[in-house]
């Protein structure tokens, strides 16, 4: 019984720092999620880790966010409108579970 508690404590101790170190990135910093912005330059000096959060801030009704894979990005294929994130303050955990983590406005 004590060994089960010790094992649970060990796992908790190992995982806690990773969760505590998670960073929240506002995509585009002060400019937020918009058009005519160099997101490659924005991401260039950032290192993303499992558990980090990407926050997409924008004017709801004016912009949105779509998660796409590399093929859809290359072919400029936008998913159906009902797959859009539209709150103006969308949070996505990194890495996304599906696709390759490409987002389009």
Q: Give 53-88 pLDDT, tens digit per residue.
A: 999 999 999 999 998 888 888 998 988 888 899 999
Instruction: Band the pLDDT of 12: cuts 50, 70, 90.
Output: very low
Q: Supply the pLDDT for residue 101.
A: 64
pTM of the model: 0.72
What is the arithmetic mean of pLDDT over 93-99?
72
All structural domains of the chain with their residue ranges:
22-104
Q: What span, in angstroms and rounded, lies between the C-alpha atoms of 38 and 19?
A: 29
What is the arithmetic mean of pLDDT over 22-50?
95
* 14 contacts: CB under 8 Å, gap ≥ 6: none
Q: What span, in angstroms and rounded, lies between the C-alpha atoms of 83 and 1?
A: 47
The answer regarding whether domain 22-104 maps to CATH 2.60.40.420 reads yes
Q: Supply the pLDDT for residue 42.
A: 96
């Amino acid at each position: 019984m004590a060994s089960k508690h010790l094992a649970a404590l060990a796992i908790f101790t190992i995982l806690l720092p990773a969760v505590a170190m998670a960073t929240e990135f506002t995509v585009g910093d002060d400019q937020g999620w918009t058009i005519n912005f160099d997101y490659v330059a924005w991401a260039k000096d950032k290192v993303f880790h499992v558990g980090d959060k990407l926050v997409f801030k924008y004017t709801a009704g004016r912009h949105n966010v779509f998660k796409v894979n590399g093929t859809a990005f290359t072919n400029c294929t936008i998913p159906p409108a009902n797959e859009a994130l539209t709150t103006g303050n969308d949070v996505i955990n990194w890495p996304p579970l599906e696709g390759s983590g490409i987002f389009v406005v």
